[in-house]
Amino acid sequence: MKAESFTTIKNKFPDQWILLGNPVSENGKFVSGVVVLHSHDKKEVCYLGKEKVKDYNRVTVVFTGETKPQNRIGILKRV
């Protein structure tokens, strides 16, 4: 598989969880990587991807859409 730019990955797989092999980052942002697995379900990517990452030195999971702000309950919401 060939490494692709993160912009290309976001355009191909909008609002999906991506398992990237050998990711490259600059200034804390992902620039490129090899798409190993993609899905709308994060758990699916994590569990099914375990066996597919053997050939990569580094892997990471990224989301190509906008994330929702975390809802805090109880005392944490008031702080």
Taking only the tens place, the pLDDT of each residue in 7-64 is: 999 999 999 999 999 999 999 888 999 999 999 999 999 999 888 998 899 999 999 9
pLDDT digits (tens, 9 = 90+) for 24-39: 999 988 899 999 999 9
What pLDDT is stored for residue 75 in this prediction? 55
Tokens of 44: 């699916």
CB neighbour list of residue 8: distance below 8 Å, 6 or more residues apart: none
Which amino acid is it at 55?
Answer: D
